[in-house]
A = this chain, B = another copy of it.
Amino acid sequence: MNFNEERQKRTEYIEEILKRYLPKKEGYQKIIMEAMEYSLMAGGKRLRPMLMLETYRLFGGEKKVIEPFMAAIEMIHTYSLVHDDLPAMDNDEYRRGRKTTHIVYGEDMGILAGDALLNYAFETAALAFDEEDADCAKVGKAFQVLARKSGIYGMIGGQVVDVKESGHAVSGEVLDFIYRLKTSALIEASMMVGAILAGADEEVVGTIEEIAGKIGLAFQIQDDILDVTGTTETLGKPVHSDEKNEKTTYVTWKGIEKAKDDVAAMTKEAVDGLEKLPEKDGFLRELLISLISREK
């Protein structure tokens, strides 16, 4: 199999896991299960569970205990998009080429669907305690990392500063803070959880956190680049939105050529960091490189 086939195979496996962990659509509260499915199954690259799985495999992991965490991280990523799109936040009507959750289900259900996905992420991850041969201490540790990186010292913290600083220019330092928390933190969680559950020691988990941080930054800067160079058709969302919102981005800060160079440089650093490890994973290396040239 070539890289694209390998990637497709993994994406299908992840989609199968997501479907398996989604709640049955039943009961008086059925509408919330529908809204959760609508937002979670809207497509997307499934990058976070893919990085988690691949890091888990990199360190020799081969049990089912990773699966609930793979579902959980994608649920957390998805809830953050659902709440980001709300009228009081970015007020977006389209995402991945489809109407956003609050447009389809109403604003109240949009809020509740986000809450439900966040809560259900932890509920799902907690199923890992029941997995046969699960190492309770490792699962507990993975839980701590997942929760911390999703919260005020991670993704939510970045989102808070992004919202607070919107509508005016921000310094490079603040921009860097936002990117590290809003985007990198969840990528860090993905790879760290994979490493922890596979039994990597603390120092190695620290190395993985650093590598993941660079991947997250490169990923976010590429997003800024695509907002300038991409098309609505390919991205499934409006382009030039940053310019319209007079938003400081890495591109407005450093210029598009420098931004492209930095994405390549950060990705190379991440790949080099991986190469230094005794463990090898050709797919992971190719996945990181593919992210530089992605068009959506």
A79 to chain B: which residues have CB within 8 Å? 115
Interface string of A94-124 (1 = CB under 8 A from B): 0000000000001111111011101110110
A143 to chain B: which residues have CB within 8 Å? 122, 126, 129, 143
Residue A127 lies at the interface, judged by CB distance under 8 Å to chain B: yes
Residue A38 lies at the interface, judged by CB distance under 8 Å to chain B: no
Residue A169 lies at the interface, judged by CB distance under 8 Å to chain B: no
A118 to chain B: which residues have CB within 8 Å? 115, 118-119
A1 to chain B: which residues have CB within 8 Å? none
A33 to B119, CA, bound (A): 20
A110 to chain B: which residues have CB within 8 Å? 88
Quick check: A126 and B112 within 8 Å, CB to CB? Answer: no
**CB-CB nearest in chain B for A181:** B29
A contact residues, range: 35 or more
Closest beta carbon of chain B to A73's beta carbon, Å: 13
- The copy count of this chain in the complex is 2
Quick check: B119 and A29 within 8 Å, CB to CB? Answer: no
Quick check: A129 and B137 within 8 Å, CB to CB? Answer: yes
Quick check: A32 and B111 within 8 Å, CB to CB? Answer: no
**The 3 nearest A-B residue pairs measured at CB:** A129-B140, A136-B136, A123-B147
A200 to B31, CA, bound (A): 36
Residue A83 lies at the interface, judged by CB distance under 8 Å to chain B: yes
**CB-CB nearest in chain B for A129:** B140
Residue A159 lies at the interface, judged by CB distance under 8 Å to chain B: yes
Quick check: B116 and A152 within 8 Å, CB to CB? Answer: yes
A-B contact sample (7 more), CB < 8 A, given A27-B157, A88-B106: A32-B156, A112-B159, A116-B152, A116-B156, A119-B152, A130-B144, A136-B140
Closest beta carbon of chain B to A76's beta carbon, Å: 9
Quick check: B108 and A88 within 8 Å, CB to CB? Answer: yes
Stretch at the interface among A5-13, A160-168, A210-218: A160-168
A153 to B89, CA, bound (A): 28
Residue A193 lies at the interface, judged by CB distance under 8 Å to chain B: no
